[in-house]
Chain A
Amino acid sequence: MFSATATAAALESTAATLATLGQMIVPVLLALAASTALAAIVPTLRRWLPTALGLLVGALALGEAAFVWFHLRLWQLCQVVDPATGQVTGSFAVPLWIESEKLYVWAFILAVIALVVRRQRAELQPALAVTAAALTIGALLWSRPFAEPLPSFLGGYQGYLAAWASGDPGAMMGAFQSMEGSRRFFYNTWYMWVHPPLLFISYGAFVASFAATVLMIMRRHSSYEQTAYRWARFGYLPLTFGMLIGFPWAIMAWQGESWWWSGKVNMSIMMWVLYTAYLHARLYLRHKGMWRVVAALAVLSFVALVLTYITTYVVPGAHSVV
């Protein structure tokens, strides 16, 4: 039998346990991120970088395991009940890369890429490690995924529980329709489990590509360019597929809403066409002066990536969190 009061209490207790876990994990992560950045920046400490990076990846994985547990508890606790029939319509399978956990996942993926990078490892690894460390610190201090987990989802579900507890049939039905809609068309869609991680993998690969491009511009040697190309082509595949699979979902889920040419869609298109232009122009790299065009496109593409990410927080619209 569904009890709004008991569910609210269990949710509060679960969130408190995650916060307690966070109190142990966050200081360790911050210390490891700072150590990794230090080992990457200070040449005399560079030999410790693989160790620091490995420990950072391990700690990030531990944090991710805590999130997996938290999401499993949400699956068990957060049910939606139809007030008209009293039947449970389903539970929430909240994806592991939304809201306050988004930046954390990106940091985790980038830290793994920094750890496994092979070509030009000595030069690329420090650059990637510093970026991963900065993202980790940003994710922990700005997004606060342990202390303030999934604020939008939990806020919405607590509102649903409050409506249920009020006993007002109109409020219960309104809250049910809202939560059931978001459960079926957002949180539980296969698309939400595939689209964001594909994009984060591509973003991680593009960071590596950009770092190699900067090295190429500084040192004027084609081996860096080859590395930049390898990471860009690796990132281009999940980017293309990840963006494309959003299309039919958006048509169905955002019917009647203004999403086409919205800020995030616009910027994603810009990023994709620029990476396409870069990979295409690169076919003619041996032509005189062409490397400058290729380098410019590679840099522009990465700038577009950063702007695309920022757009989510700056320009309102269907994808936005403004």
Chain B
Amino acid sequence: MTDPMTAKTASGWDRLLMMVTVVLLGALGTQSLLGTLYAWWAYRVDPLWERHAGYAAFIDTMNLIAAPLVVALVVVMGLCVPKRLVAKRTLVVLSAGMLVVGVLGGAATGSLAVGLAVYLALSALIQVAVVVLTVAGAGGLAYLSENRLAKVGSGLLHLGFILFALVIVALQRSPLMLPVFYASAIMLTGGSALSFYARESVRRMQPAGAPAVAEGNTTRPGDDV
């Protein structure tokens, strides 16, 4: 997902990433709607549908459709936030490399879940690096805004999403499930809160005449849309 800080000068690449993100989220939403309609129909045909093999096949199909969409979302995140740290081409190569490692991991073990887990774990490591570098104020970060809190929020919510996907894919029966899950929940919610509100609070604290902080909301009150 793209970072709000760059909204004012969003390049074609940024815009493409944003549109891809929206399309992927829309696809997940459509899948959920179709899944509900199918379940509703299945219950009408057979009220004990959940006890038969058809239900297991439904769950498998839903997982099979959702998995590539979630992976694609994580790939877009991988291409988006760290682009403030490294060049676009390097990021594309890195993302492709991680995907290959995930595919190889899955092929070697014969398990799609292991392949997904490997890819998600690598993506989580990249996001951890992004958050740490953002907190440290790494010089390579090319954000328009100097509001580090909002940048950290953006990194945290992406990391939270990846960790939550990792919990679903790989940690449901692990003793690490609860700690990792709660970490992901706090990062997703806290990261969203920072992204939404940190910029605004900094803007309020700025003295009159100071350069405006770029914000996610790029309309001005009074603008006709």
Contact = CB atoms under 8 A, between A and B. Distances in A.
B29 A248 contact: no
A133 interface: no
Given A237-B189, A248-B178, A287 B225 contact: no
Nearest to A281: B22
Nearest to B191: A240
B34 to A, nearest CB: 9
B224 A263 contact: no
A316 interface: yes
B222 A223 contact: yes
| Chain B contact surface mostly | helix
A228 to B, nearest CB: 11
A225 B185 CA distance: 28
B29 A273 contact: yes
B164 interface: yes
| Chain A contact surface mostly | helix
Interface stretch (B96-104, B107-115, B129-137, B213-221): B213-221
Nearest to B167: A247
Contacts of B25: 273-274, 276-277, 280
Given A220-B224, A277-B26, A311 B36 contact: yes
Contacts of A19: none
A248 B35 contact: no
Given A260-B59, A285-B219, A316-B47, A266 B15 contact: no
Nearest to B177: A248
* Chain A contact patch, size range: 35 or more
Contacts of B217: 226, 229, 282-283, 285
A277 B58 CA distance: 26
Contacts of A287: 10, 15
Contacts of B172: 251
A81 B135 CA distance: 54
Interface in A264-306: 266-267, 269-270, 273-274, 276-277, 280-287, 291, 293, 297, 304
A258 B50 CA distance: 7
Interface in B22-38: 22, 25-26, 28-30, 32-33, 35-36
B35 A236 contact: no
B152 interface: no
A241 interface: yes
Interface string B74-107: 0000000000000000000000000000000000
* Chain B contact patch, size range: 35 or more
A266 B36 contact: yes
Contacts of B2: 280, 283
Interface in B129-177: 164, 167, 172, 177
Contacts of A284: 7, 10, 15, 18, 218
A270 B32 CA distance: 6
Contacts of B188: 240-241, 244
A182 interface: no
A260 B56 CA distance: 11
Contacts of B185: 241, 244-245
A180 B219 CA distance: 55
Interface string B37-59: 00110010001001000010011
Contacts of A236: 192, 196
Given A222-B220, A280-B25, A315 B40 contact: yes
A315 B36 contact: yes
B72 interface: no
B118 interface: no
Given A237-B189, A263-B36, A222 B21 contact: no
B59 A277 contact: no
A287 B218 CA distance: 9
A283 B69 CA distance: 22
A141 B13 CA distance: 54
A123 to B, nearest CB: 15
Nearest to B33: A270
A266 B178 contact: no
Interface of B: 1-2, 4, 7-8, 10, 15, 18, 21-22, 25-26, 28-30, 32-33, 35-36, 39-40, 43, 47, 50, 55, 58-59, 62-63, 164, 167, 172, 177-178, 181, 184-185, 188-189, 192-193, 196-197, 216-225
Interface of A: 216, 220-223, 225-226, 229, 233, 236-237, 240-241, 244-245, 247-248, 251, 258, 260-263, 266-267, 269-270, 273-274, 276-277, 280-287, 291, 293, 297, 304, 307, 311, 314-317
18 contacts: A222-B223, A222-B225, A226-B221, A236-B192, A237-B189, A237-B196, A244-B185, A251-B172, A251-B177, A261-B62, A267-B33, A280-B18, A282-B217, A283-B217, A284-B18, A285-B218, A297-B22, A304-B29
